[in-house]
Amino acid sequence: MRRSTTIPLVSRQEQVASLLLAVGRASAGRPGLVLVGGDAGVGKTRLLSHVAQAAEQAGASSVVVHCVDLGQVGIPYLPFTDALTQLQAGAAGPEAAARVAELVAERPALWRLLEPGGNGGADHDERLQLFEGIARSLAVAGAPERPLVLVVEDVHWADASTRDVLRFLAARARSEHVLIVVSYRSDDVDRRHPLRPLLAELSRLEHVERIDLRPFDESELREFTTALAGRPLGATGFAEVLERSEGNAFFAEELLDAGPDSASLPWTLTEVLRTRLERLDPDVQQVLRIASVAGRRVREELLRAATARWGELDVDVALREAVTQQVLVVSGVHLEFRHALLAEALYADLLPGERSAVHRAYLAVIEQDGPDGTPIGSAAERAHHAFEGHDLPAALSASRDAALRARRLLAPEEELKHWEQVLALWESVPDAEERIGSDRVAVALFAGEAAARVGDPVRAVKLTQRAADSVEDPVRRAGLEHVLVRRYLDLRTWDEEPGQVEAAVADLRAALEMLPQRSPERIWTNALLARVTMIIDEDDAARVHAACAIEEARAIDHPGALADALSTLAVLDVADPDQAAARLDEARAAAVEAGDVLTEMRALYNATANRFYAGELETADQRVLHALARAEELGLAWSTPTVSLRVLQEVMLYFRGDLAERSSEGVPATAKQVMDATRMYAAVARGDSDVIARGEALFEHWRSDGMIALLGGGSLVDALTWAGRYDDAAALAVRITDHLGEVWTEVFLGRIWLSALAIAALAGAAEADRSTGRAGAPGSAAANAVEMRATERLDRGDALLAIARETAQRGRPRGGVLGPEGRAWLQRATAENARLHAAVGRPPGAADGGGDTSPGALWREAATAWQETVNAFDFGYRYEVARARYRWAEALLGTGERQAAEVEAAEALSEAQDMGANPLADAVRALARRARLDLPGVRRATASTLTDREEEVLGLVAQGLSNRQIGERLFISTKTVSVHVSNLLAKLGASGRAEAVSLAHQHGLLNVT
């Protein structure tokens, strides 16, 4: 039987054409990236091999590289190391090889990557230099009419750093003559797989194409099996293959190759593969088993050396037979299993003792020095084989080397995994400290720092706490206090726990007493004391500690602590934003000098927030983009400061009126809830159907972060109000206020916002009650109940307004001045309270302040206040401006100013429609229909709108009857009543039965006394 690699490609013409078009675009200077996904065995490799050959025939160069599965650890940048090696060896021609070699020689980040030991030093900018170097190397390898096609296979096994490079290359593609094709197993990429968010992110880019390779259908499989067998299969045989393979090309090929006896086997792929492999000579099977321990790919010389322990094997004959039978294929200097499943099946067939022995054989080979005096294999490979071979001392040392290399390459996820491997092995290796060159405390601190850079503050705290708790020397323990506090500060809720900050202040001050003058540990302790005393509003003490840290850091040239102290001092100088900005610029420069990437990100966040709160939102927007790009370069995409930057970015987008939905793909578990809470702002404004459920899902996370309660809970109050669940909304606002009053302070500034939202909900409830109450008889029980509720709501509204005003007076931010946003929310709270009073027919009293207290005047002032945020900021609170105009129009109608109301309503509707703020747009349209305003696209409701039957149903709805009761009264079915009710609601532009009664009364459609 022929093999699939020897027959013409079956089907896939559409995918081939799409890929070759992408090659053509790359040739013309339009680079691209194609994601090719499909189940294991579906034919991805065969397709890409065909396309690579076709591209080369058309004049392109192709380089094929692979990611490998090394379990829980990985080799950072492995496929790109392989690609650069192939390019230097001439894979894209001698001229391209020379250009790439010249680039590598000029860029330390690249030649450090390519050197086997990777022992060179690096500064914190090297990650960006490395990414740019890889991108530039690929760019110079491609040329007009001779583009480079880089195929990266099996990206489901890619390490985090490789995924970061792919993200970088996709984002920076401009005019290079390069096409990158990435393949992955879609059946391996579940919702928790780290590749999934990258796929979602890349798919949104314009120049990225996605191909989902499906199994063969029946006709395609028939063509495929006919080509393999050289003749059509019989009906029974084909039906068997179709049923068992389910269209998977690899499965079908193996079933055919296993022969007719395979039909008697129970159906599992492993058994099909075993049947095929058992037909090979025992020596060939043994060599293949040894090869499988290295993974899908293995260097030939490495395999030969590893099999040398089994001297009776004729390796030459075995490898020739394996290649002839196409179990192995030759790929450059590597031997590669034709499909990864073959390697997996062989590896699974090894006994535990056999596996360990082969891993040790590989370890013995790769520990040997190469011609340049460095070990043949990478540290990560040594760690993998040593651990699986149960050589724990070697695994410990190799894991340490791998962690240090990952740190040099700014790959914190891999670094953390390797340090944790060292810690896990420590007790099993008696001379661990001697081998590592550091004690266990230092290793735990390294791991804690890596966890902080990854963005896992909980893990960072646990590792650092473990290190501190194991130290007996009091002076050394005192020197670790600042490290521990720094890790705790990354926990967003640490300062919300009663007494935590005060205890940290006491511990740091005690440590200060023990530490030598002008020692690095003492300087850092002062810097951290400045931060934590600032948190508890001891600003004078914070300034003293910051000044002390700055003075001593400059005296002994200690830039890391200097940067941290300057960042704190800048926050204290918030009343002078320009001076604060200058301090933050100096802080960032010092952090860069120190190579302290976490402090650099803190300075970048504070610099962005500084411009935001100074009202320079355009500048802040530019800074947040720069800071997030820097975070990606440093491998800190989700560190604590970076998460704060992302939250600030979402808020600024909402301010602009950008309500576009953004995917949560790529957000790690450590940041998911706070990002979900922040995105509730836009979700409520858009009117997402599931927004209430999303807000309620955040309840359980309130204790983990007060910002989740504030942002997610406050937005949910707004959503409940839009949904007509007014009492629920008001109650939730009180619940949030009580919660945050406990964990923060009673006068936190967000209380003004929550009070305004709660009063808005009360006003909405009063208006709904007014509509239903007036539809009933005066003096009735229903009307009396409405009156009682009205009194209660007025009292609650007045109390909430008083709270908002008190908060504005007592809860002022650092710097002492309530900003334009806070003033606008306070004005909205005042206007909403006036709306509440108007809804129950009672004018506001003296509690609402002096001046004109009519709803129209107050909403005009609210609209003006929100407009001032537009004037104060480079761009303003667009959504709230539109909402204030809507309420202002409503109030103008109450005083008969129809023309002015029409102007404001038209502006509100235009803005709402442009933003996609559906609930607001619907509310403005409903107002226009009720008041018969002439707005674009709004049809007025009239008496002739309703049919006779609908008027009958409306009259009974006004009496409070249910659909069933109406049906019984009119002798029609409940379902028919429901249809009539839906129709009249649509015609009146009402959101519910109560509003329909109110609108009908206003339009003269009801005869109610």
Please tell me the distance from the alpha carbon of residue 796 to that of residue 560, in angstroms, as a whole number: 52
Mean pLDDT confidence for 669-694: 94
Is the per-residue pLDDT at 850 higher than 60? no
Q: Residue 199 in contact with residue 35, Cβ under 8 Å?
A: yes
Q: What dihedral do alpha carbons 213, 214, 220, 224 form, nearest 10°?
A: 60
Q: Residue 464 in contact with residue 440, Cβ under 8 Å?
A: no
Please tell me the distance from the alpha carbon of residue 274 to that of residue 268, in angstroms, as a whole number: 10
Residues 6+ positions from 233 with CB-CB distance below 8 Å: 222, 225, 226, 241
Classify residue 927 by burial, with Cβ atoms within 10 Å: 0-12, 13-18, 19+: buried
Mean pLDDT confidence for 506-516: 94
The pLDDT > 70 percentage for the chain reads 90
Quote the pLDDT of residue 822.
84
Q: When comparing pLDDT for 782 and 820, which is higher?
A: 820
> Pairing state of beta strands 32-38 and 178-185?
parallel
Please tell me the distance from the alpha carbon of residue 719 to that of residue 717, in angstroms, as a whole number: 5
Of 369-378, 529-538, 547-556, where does the model show the most confidence? 547-556
Backbone angles phi, psi at 151, to 5 degrees: -105, 120
Q: When comparing pLDDT for 349 and 83, which is higher?
A: 83
Q: What dihedral do alpha carbons 372, 373, 376, 378 form, nearest 10°?
A: -100
Of 62-76, 122-136, 631-645, where does the model show the most confidence? 631-645
Please tell me the distance from the alpha carbon of residue 742 to that of residue 718, in angstroms, as a whole number: 23
**Coil, strand or helix: which one is 116?**
coil
Q: CA gyration radius for the chain?
A: 35
Please tell me the distance from the alpha carbon of residue 527 to that of residue 517, in angstroms, as a whole number: 14
Nearest by Cα to 770 from 801, 793, 797, 800: 793
Please tell me the distance from the alpha carbon of residue 484 to that of residue 149, in angstroms, as a whole number: 48
Quote the pLDDT of residue 121.
42
Give me 236's structure tokens. Answer: 């029974």
How does pLDDT run across 251-304, given as a tens digit for each residue? 788 777 766 555 443 345 666 667 667 778 888 999 999 999 988 888 888 898
Is the per-residue pLDDT at 668 higher than 80? yes
The alpha helices in 58-107, defined as continuous H runs, are 78-88, 94-106
CA 98 to chain centre: 40
Mean pLDDT confidence for 898-906: 90
Is the per-residue pLDDT at 530 higher than 50? yes
Q: Residue 65 in contact with residue 152, Cβ under 8 Å?
A: yes
Please tell me the distance from the alpha carbon of residue 244 to that of residue 256, in angstroms, as a whole number: 11
Please tell me the distance from the alpha carbon of residue 554 to that of residue 158, in angstroms, as a whole number: 43
CA atoms within 13 A on the CB side of 700: 3
pTM, to two decimals: 0.70
Q: What is the 3-state secondary structure (H, E, C) of 212-232?
A: EECCCCHHHHHHHHHHHHCCC
Q: Average pLDDT of the chain?
A: 86
Q: How confident is the model at residue 846 (pLDDT cuts 50, 70, 90)?
A: very low
Least confident range from 482-496, 520-534, 557-571, 624-638: namely 482-496
Quote the pLDDT of residue 645.
95
Beta strands in 416-501 (DSSP E): none
Give me 335's structure tokens. Answer: 């031997």
Mean pLDDT confidence for 789-796: 88
